Amino acid sequence: MTGAPHSARSRTRDIAKAAVRAELAQVAFELFHRDGFDKVTLDDLAAAAGVSRSTFLRYFGTKEDAVLAAFDGQDRRTADALRARPAGEDDWTALRRALDSLIERYHQDPAGALATTRLVRDTPALCARHLEKQHSWRPALAEALAERAGTPGAATLGHTVRAAAALDCLNVAIDHWTASDGHLDLVALLDEAFATFRAV
């Protein structure tokens, strides 16, 4: 019984922390969008948010983290969606359908997603960091494919290659969508990218 109040307090703290983190990220994004990523310092971010530099750094270790937090958890959500696909579905189809969970935010808030994507793509430091983080998604997707094949923890070279190719398809589709100012259908672009690999 004594664990229940403690657990409730812990959840409340987590919710409050997530809310503060989201607010700081929004302030940072607005400042980056207005003044340019490279011109904004950590001190500028802290001042704009009305917190100390050390408080800001407790939530985000770098300026890049404040932007890329928008992509946190995407690897886990996509891997979970992949595991949930029907057992009889081939890996490539399952990967394509699992990515629907990732591009959902582009439908929910296309203007916000377009602005964030542009900031990342147009800022070398952010683009490099994002690709670095995305590279770490491959093992999660490859392991999910292995689980679907009934060999958990034994992802093959083929699983890893398919996971990497799926992420490349995603990036190319998003690049085309961004270049069109969000006018093209991202789902159709992603379908076309996947179909191109299937046709090879």
CA dist 111 and 48 (Å) reads 23
Q: Given this model, what pLDDT does residue 3 score?
A: 58
Look at the alpha carbons of 14, 20, 24, 25 in this order and tell me if their dihedral is positive or negative.
positive
Give pLDDT < 50 ranges for the chain. 1
Q: Given this model, what pLDDT does residue 169 score?
A: 96
Domains annotated on the chain, with CATH: 3-67 (1.10.10.60), 73-199 (1.10.357.10)
Q: Given this model, what pLDDT does residue 1 score?
A: 46
CA dist 102 and 167 (Å) reads 11
Helices and strands: H and E segment counts in the chain: 12, 0
Q: Given this model, what pLDDT does residue 199 score?
A: 59
Q: Given this model, what pLDDT does residue 170 score?
A: 96
- pTM over cut 0.75: yes
CA dist 130 and 60 (Å) reads 15
